[in-house]
């Protein structure tokens, strides 16, 4: 006899066999019910049923014998059993009806189901939200994207059919989830301009809040494709009046300084979409983009005139005023820039190509009065192909960039002698101070390449609130917790040079100068005119007075040359420019982030 017992206390629901049946291994024998759950019992091996000991509805105890059986005749004679679990035929897999419904429903979230909307998008020279995400997450080359909330539709069931909503408002206009960027996880969200003009509906707000919460909980970077028209007035299913209670904007703002935030704009980005974009650390935008806190309807509704969308916040304006950090030709280039930007916050790289360091010896002209492109210093110092320039249309007096040296990421400030002779005005100071905050918040060491006659002065400059703006550099530097390195390329004068050196020449981990370095409390010519005014005025002959002036300036220059500064220990060394990279590599190895505090990054 072969035992067939109940594994639990239950009620017998139904027998699936009868006396005399030959039961195969794996065949369903009986169904039991316990705690509202049905349990199927299958035969462990072949057997012949002789007697059923219980009827449907009977209660059975755990371990109780349910039927009497015997082994098949061929087993009694020692013959091998047929249809063992290993040899029994397996049923052909089928897609159940419930699974088929899910598959069919998800199909409506794919671009292929909306050919007209996709074609219209492509005709505008733009990509769909899903195409941008696929590119960013490298889905064709091993990357991944796990979508959240794909089955959401607009909250408009009271005015539109379910089929209409499913076909025309997929994902409620926001495709979002967790994907891989450069092989590292990130929260990725893209407003879908083909769905209700990329407006922010109540359900896509809920989805955004869910994903931002995950970014905060797991410290994941956020990439936001922010194209769209802002708030949506047509969601009638939600019992709200104005929707001003939504937490999306505060949730994104709370991530400031906690994780890298990347905003991308193509096409039209207005109102709420622009507000989210403005909360990001970096704004990458296409040349065809328009960004504004109000679109044409809002402007007209405020009685401010009638304008076409292309007239509001074009990229030429927003790049020049500093809203756009990285201006690119199209969305493909925007994705490349986003991946490049995020790579600086994803750790060192082991593979890199070092530049020809000897090029650094020729960056600064021998003529000390000659302007030059100081960006060449970074290109000859950083790993090849690693430099990403930021905010290039704004604050021309200081270049800001992210770069790598020997695979290590860092932020770089560079004075621009081609703009105001390198003097620092309000716009350049704002740009530099915010850049310090950015690097500080995300633990990037900083390098400052200094060539400045100081802060810009004069009545017109003071009208720009110069005193407040330039002081931001000192305050930002005072809160730095990351290693800071200074290299004086040529001019290191006055308070401006001190601000470029994190507040003073002894504030950085090292301050070194190239042989072309020259120093003073202020510009040498100005120092002579002020300090030797009486002596100069005492010389009546103008030619003799000019000769005396030149002599005094030369004397000041001799006193302020780099080797004299190093001799008085005001700087740490005068170095061969070709050795700058080696100095920096050793400094990066020695410098440490001082604590784990997270500090915010100004929106401006």
Residues 527 and 513 in one domain: no
> At a CB cut-off of 8 Å and minimum separation 6, what does 366 contact?
none
Whether 275 is in a domain gets the answer yes
Instruction: Examine residue 277 and state whether it is found in any structural domain, yes or no.
Output: yes
- Are 283 and 274 spatial neighbours (Cβ–Cβ below 8 Å)? no
Angstrom distance (rounded) from CA 424 to CA 256: 27
The CATH number that applies at residue 462 is: 3.90.226.10
- With 0-12 CB in 10 A as exposed, 13-18 as middle and 19+ as buried, what is 396? middle
CATH of the domain at 33: 2.40.50.100
Given pLDDT bands bounded at 50, 70 and 90, which one contains residue 378?
A: very high
CA-based nearest residue to 447, from 475, 407, 415: 415
What is the distance of C-alpha 170 from the center of its chain? Answer: 25
* 337 and 374 share one domain: no
Mean pLDDT score of the chain: 91
- Tally of structural domains, the chain: 4
| Cβ within 8 Å of residue 483, ≥6 positions away | 445, 446, 509, 587, 588, 590, 591, 592, 593
Same domain as 460, residue 542: no
Name 174's Cβ contacts closer than 8 Å, sequence gap at least 6.
149, 189, 190, 191, 192, 200, 201, 204, 207, 208
Looking at the structure, tell me whether residues 427 and 493 fall in a common domain.
yes
Q: In 10 A of CB 245, how many CB atoms?
A: 7
- 47 and 27 in a common domain: yes
Pairing mode, strands 47-52 and 67-70: antiparallel
**Structural domain boundaries enclosing 220:** 102-343
Neighbour tally for 4: CB within 10 Å: 20
Q: Which of 157 and 32 is assigned the larger pLDDT?
A: 32
Indicate whether 248 pLDDT > 70.
yes
Same domain for 175 and 272, yes or no, is yes
Q: State the pLDDT at residue 428.
A: 97
Rounded distance between C-alpha atoms, residue 404 and residue 349, angstroms: 9
Size (the chain), residues:
604
Task: Indicate if 269 and 412 belong to the same structural domain.
Answer: no
Give the pLDDT confidence score for residue 91 in this predicted structure: 64
Whether residue 18 is predicted with pLDDT greater than 80 in this model: the reply is yes
Select from 281, 316, 343 the last residue of a domain: 343
Q: Across the beta sheet with 47-52, what order do the strands follow?
A: 22-23, 47-52, 67-70
The answer to whether 520 touches 560, Cβ cutoff 8 Å, is yes
Looking at residue 231, what DSSP letter applies? B
> Is 452:422 a contact under the CB 8 Å cutoff?
yes
Same domain, 193 and 212: yes
Q: What is the pLDDT of residues 536-590, one digit of tens each?
A: 888 888 888 888 888 888 887 877 899 999 999 999 999 999 999 999 999 999 9
Q: Which of 248-252, 395-399, 402-406 has the lowest mean pLDDT?
A: 248-252
State the chain's maximal CA–CA distance in angstroms: 136
Per-residue confidence (pLDDT) for residue 158, from 0 to 100 = 87
CA distance 215 to 221: 7
- Residue 431: helix, strand or coil by DSSP? helix
**Does any domain span residue 603?**
no
Q: What are phi and psi of 478, to 5 degrees?
A: -65, -20
- Res 572: pLDDT: 97
In a domain, 90, yes or no: no
Look at residue 530 and tell me if it is in a domain.
yes
Statement: residue 59 has pLDDT above 60? yes
Q: Which residues contact 123 (CB under 8 A, 6 or more apart)?
A: none
Taking the C-alpha atoms of residue 487 and residue 485, their distance in angstroms, rounded to an integer, is 7
447: phi then psi, degrees, rounded to nearest 5:
-125, 135
Nearest to 339 by CA among 328, 350, 324: 328
Tell me which residue of 455, 517, 513 sits closest to 485, measured CA to CA.
513
Residues 433 and 566 placed together within one structural domain of the fold: yes
Does the pLDDT at position 290 exceed 90? yes
Q: Is residue 446 part of a domain?
A: yes
Statement to judge: residues 106 and 240 lie in one domain: yes
* Predicted confidence (pLDDT) at residue 499 exceeds the cutoff of 90: yes
Distance of CA 231 to the CA centre of its chain: 23
Q: Which residues contact 408 (CB under 8 A, 6 or more apart)?
A: 348, 445, 585, 588
Domain match, 425 and 527 both: no
Q: How much is the pLDDT for 603?
A: 80
Q: What would the DSSP string read from start to end of 320-346?
A: HTTS-SEEESSHHHHHHHHHHHHHTTS
Would you say residue 476 has pLDDT above 90?
yes
Q: Is 599 a domain residue?
A: no
Q: What is the mean pLDDT of residues 253-271?
A: 95
Residue 86 lies in a domain: no
Query: Does residue 304 share a domain with residue 197?
Result: yes
Nearest of 513, 518, 500 to residue 571 by alpha carbon: 513
């Amino acid at each position: 006899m072969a035992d067939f017992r109940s594994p639990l206390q239950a009620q017998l629901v139904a027998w699936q066999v009868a006396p005399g049946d030959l039961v195969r291994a794996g065949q369903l024998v009986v169904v039991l019910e316990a705690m509202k759950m049905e349990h199927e019992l299958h035969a462990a091996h072949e057997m012949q049923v002789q007697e059923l000991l219980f009827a449907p509805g009977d209660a059975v105890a755990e371990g109780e014998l349910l039927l009497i059986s015997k082994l098949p005749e061929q087993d009694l004679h020692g013959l091998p059993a047929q249809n063992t679990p290993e040899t029994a035929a397996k049923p052909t897999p089928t897609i159940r009806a419930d699974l088929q419904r899910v598959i069919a429903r998800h199909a409506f979230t794919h671009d292929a189901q909306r050919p007209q909307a996709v074609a219209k998008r492509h005709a505008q020279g733009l990509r769909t939200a899903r195409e941008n995400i696929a590119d960013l997450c490298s889905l064709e080359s091993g990357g991944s994207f796990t979508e959240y909330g794909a089955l959401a539709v607009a909250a408009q069931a009271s005015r539109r059919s379910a089929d209409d909503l499913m076909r025309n408002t997929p994902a409620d206009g926001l495709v979002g989830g967790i994907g891989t960027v450069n092989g590292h996880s990130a929260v990725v969200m893209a407003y879908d301009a083909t769905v209700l003009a990329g407006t922010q509906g109540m359900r896509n707000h809920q989805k955004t809040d869910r994903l931002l919460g995950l970014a905060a909980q797991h410290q994941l970077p956020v990439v936001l494709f922010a194209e769209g028209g802002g708030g949506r007035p047509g969601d009638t299913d939600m019992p709200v009046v104005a929707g001003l209670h939504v937490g999306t904007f505060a949730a994104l703002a709370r991530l400031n300084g906690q994780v890298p935030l990347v905003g991308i704009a193509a096409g039209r980005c207005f109102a709420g979409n622009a507000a989210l974009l403005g909360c990001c650390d970096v704004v990458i935008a296409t040349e065809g983009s328009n960004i504004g806190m109000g679109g044409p309807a809002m402007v007209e509704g405020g009685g401010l005139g009638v304008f076409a969308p292309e007239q509001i916040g074009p990229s030429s304006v927003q790049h020049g005023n500093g809203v756009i950090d990285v201006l690119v030709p199209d969305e493909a280039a925007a994705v490349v820039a986003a991946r490049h930007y995020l790579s600086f916050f994803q750790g060192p790289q082991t593979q890199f190509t070092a530049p020809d360091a000897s090029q650094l010896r020729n960056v600064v002209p021998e003529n000390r009065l000659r302007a030059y492109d100081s960006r060449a210093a970074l290109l000859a110092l950083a790993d090849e192909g690693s430099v990403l320039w930021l905010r290039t249309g704004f604050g021309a007096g200081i270049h800001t960039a992210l770069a790598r040296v020997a695979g290590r990421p860092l932020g770089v400030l560079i004075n621009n002698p081609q703009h105001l002779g390198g003097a620092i005005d309000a716009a350049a100071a704002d740009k530099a101070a915010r850049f310090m905050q950015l690097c500080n918040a995300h633990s990037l060491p900083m390098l400052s390449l200094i060539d400045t006659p100081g802060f810009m002065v004069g009545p017109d400059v003071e009208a720009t609130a110069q005193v407040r703006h330039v002081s931001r550099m000192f305050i930002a530097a005072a809160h730095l917790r990351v290693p800071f390195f200074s290299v004086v390329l040529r001019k290191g004068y006055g308070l401006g040079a001190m601000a470029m050196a994190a507040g003073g020449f002894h504030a950085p981990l090292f301050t070194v100068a190239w042989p072309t370095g020259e120093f003073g409390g202020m510009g040498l010519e100005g120092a002579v005119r002020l300090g030797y005014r009486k002596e100069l005025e005492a010389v009546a002959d103008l030619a003799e007075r000019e000769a005396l002036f030149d002599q005094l300036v030369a004397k000041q220059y001799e006193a302020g040359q780099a080797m004299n500064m190093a001799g008085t220990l005001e700087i740490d060394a005068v170095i061969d420019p070709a050795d700058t990279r080696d100095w920096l590599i050793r400094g990066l190895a020695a410098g440490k982030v001082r604590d784990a505090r997270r500090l915010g990054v100004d929106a401006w």
